[in-house]
Homo-oligomer: A and B are copies of this chain.
Amino acid sequence: MTLRFAILGAGRIGQVHARAVAGTPGAQLVAIADPVAKAAEAVKAAYGCDIRSIDAIETSADVDAVVICTPTDTHADLIERFVRAGKAVFCEKPVDLSLKRVADCLKVVKAAKGKLMVGFNRRFDPDFMAVKAAIDAGRVGTVEMVTITSRDPGAPPHDYITRSGGIFRDMTIHDFDMARWLLGEEVETVQAAASVLTDKKIGELGDFDSVNVILRTASGKQAIITNTRRATYGYDQRIEVLGSTGMASAENHGESRVTVADKDGFHSAPLLNFFMTRYVAAYANEIAAFIAAIKDGAPMPTTGQDGLMALALAEAALKSVAEGRSVRVSEVL
């Protein structure tokens, strides 16, 4: 059985998924949709698929699954349309910037008995999977503390920031998902601190560029997340999990494994500085997992509920910054 895909949106992330779908055995890229003809044509040229409108795809009998890579404010509507149309849906995070809208959308998915996977690519990174496997194999005992260092090489454009929902919903959301996944227990309280340190303009737009968060579960497990929009040495993505009998940690990916030593010391390359090179394997694994789950009739590996919970943690973090206090996740849900 080959799963036939359409991709909605031919921007940067749409291209990532187009490549992943095209390169995955058992998947076939049937159609691409994008209002920008040039973008759609580039995908067609590279992978030989059709160009169709979103409306046409909705009624295409030869499309089994769609990957939603359109702007965030269209996600929830498209999810609803396509699950109703009986397509399996993979949607890039977030489902929506409003928790209420996400919750409503998930109800529609449930009512339609739809299949929805929300893209949290990091869960599919081979190293992070190896950390999770070490935990699941009991190699660190009971998880106690999760430490996530997640730093972008540079801030996105100002107009993106305006539309992003802010750093917690746009950037930290990945770390919130990782924390939930690694803690293995829902977060009860959120404490966050936020600053503007790299670019005053970000502050003027109402956002932050440097944040730290402490998450605590009911049983007392904790996670800390440290984020900045600017790490000059590259895309810094580390996780560390301390348990009762040990610690598992995943290191960064440098541009090379080469070191030059001279009278001033030892020098090696900066980190890979782009999410598309750093997480190339993760994006491929993610689509493969989506396909496998559909074929096996298995639960989606990352669900709409995961998207909702990560967004709730972002809301709680914002509230914690605004009110200078520890916020219970139940307050925002």
Contact = CB atoms under 8 A, between A and B. Distances in A.
Interface of A: 126-127, 130-131, 134, 139-140, 142, 144-145, 147, 149, 151, 189, 191-193, 195-198, 210, 212, 214, 216, 220-222, 224, 226, 228, 230-234, 242, 244-270, 324-326
Given A139-B260, A198-B244, A248-B259, 18 more contacts: A134-B258, A139-B262, A147-B149, A189-B193, A191-B326, A193-B326, A195-B216, A224-B224, A228-B242, A231-B247, A246-B261, A248-B261, A249-B259, A252-B257, A253-B257, A265-B267, A266-B268, A325-B325
A194 to B, nearest CB: 8
Q: Kindly list the 6 A-B residue pairs having the minimum CB-CB distance in the complex, ordered from nearest.
A: A195-B220, A246-B262, A233-B261, A325-B325, A324-B326, A251-B257
B216 A258 contact: no
Nearest to A195: B220
A198 B267 CA distance: 23
Copies of this chain, complex-wide, total 4
25 contacts: A130-B258, A130-B269, A134-B260, A139-B260, A144-B195, A189-B193, A189-B324, A193-B216, A195-B222, A198-B244, A210-B222, A224-B224, A231-B247, A232-B261, A233-B246, A233-B247, A234-B261, A246-B263, A247-B260, A248-B261, A249-B261, A250-B257, A265-B267, A265-B270, A325-B326
B263 A233 contact: yes
A266 B261 CA distance: 11
A263 B242 CA distance: 13
A258 B127 contact: yes
Contacts of A126: 256
A246 to B, nearest CB: 4
